[in-house]
Amino acid sequence: MKTNPILIKALGLSIAMTAPASVLASLDINFYGSARMQAETVNPDSGVTYQSGESDSYIGMRDAYSRLGFKANWQASNKVEVFGQLEIPFDMANFKVQDPYNDTRDLRVAQVGINTDHGSLAYGQMWLPFYNAISYKVDRFSTYYSGYATLAYFRAYNAVSYYSPDYNGLSFAAGVVMKDDSGRADTFDDNRYQLTATYNNNGTDFSIGIEQVDNAIDEQLLGAALGQQIDQLYVGVKLEQWSAKGSDNSNVANFYADYQLNQYTFKAMIADVDGFGGEILHIGADYQYSKNLKTFIEFYQQESGNAIANRKAGGGGDFADSLTGGGNALAVGFRYDF
């Protein structure tokens, strides 16, 4: 069933109209959205066969993960806050409620949970602890091509997460993704378990994490990442290793840096992702035109199959059948948050 902005507003209004006055007094509902669009010139490597045909360069428009959503918070008591969040994608290039990477997905986040003095517990479709602690430290670009230089999954359906309080800069997180076949986000045939630890203090943000899969090949993903802020300079380093019985290890190394100069932010990353992109170069610049409006320009280059699609406004279904398809893309666009 497709979800749309009208449904989101209607749900929020129904909550407000049916809730008792005592609940409404402590209920906070916030609607939000982000419109993100880019114009791009894409050059897949020649001689590579894609699911939609032979490789061919093109100029077109592509959505860069626009979304609409709302967050609701209810202060149940002095020590317990109940929260919920619903967020849908809106592919502006195709004018459809769908993820620009995968057009079968019409939901980004749908979760409920509680915040207490002892931490935060949530269930639903959500961003996963491993991504939040490890991958996010180098996922700071603005175009559609942000976030591909990792082996971690971003979001998943039928997940439970726990985030601990901060203990003098040290915190922990844990998550379970239970096997499911809904297709609304990344779903799996086996249960996945994640555990992370983070130290954050005085500009230093260091994390380690593990994801263990409950399957016959003992699939495992290990990660470590460091983010360091020094005045206007930010540096991020990420290392990952995927392993499984009967398979060679896959390793990932990222080095990212950005520098803020007035309204400009200049960004650069080099990465090497075994089996998913190979050697990657990503550079760009943002200009913060106003509080809500940002413009950006980026260049992205990959050695093997990863993010470069063979069709205008296409997604994952238009990537190369084999992981041999490299290429590059130059994109310029805007992001408006509301």
pLDDT per position as a tens digit, 22-43: 566 679 999 999 999 999 999 9
Cα 42 vs. chain centroid, distance in angstroms? 22
Share of the chain above pLDDT 70, in %: 86
- Each residue of 65-108: pLDDT tens digit? 999 999 999 999 899 999 999 999 999 999 999 999 888 889 99
The answer to whether 191 and 214 are in contact (CB under 8 A) is yes
The structure tokens listed for 172 are 């922990």
| Domain annotation for the chain: domains and CATH numbers | 5-337 (2.40.160.10)
- Each residue of 105-130: pLDDT tens digit? 899 999 999 999 999 999 999 999 99
The answer to whether 159 and 183 are in contact (CB under 8 A) is no
Q: Tell whether the model's pLDDT for residue 292 goes beyond 60.
A: yes
Residue 229, H or E segment? strand 220-230
Q: What is the largest CA-CA distance in the chain?
A: 66
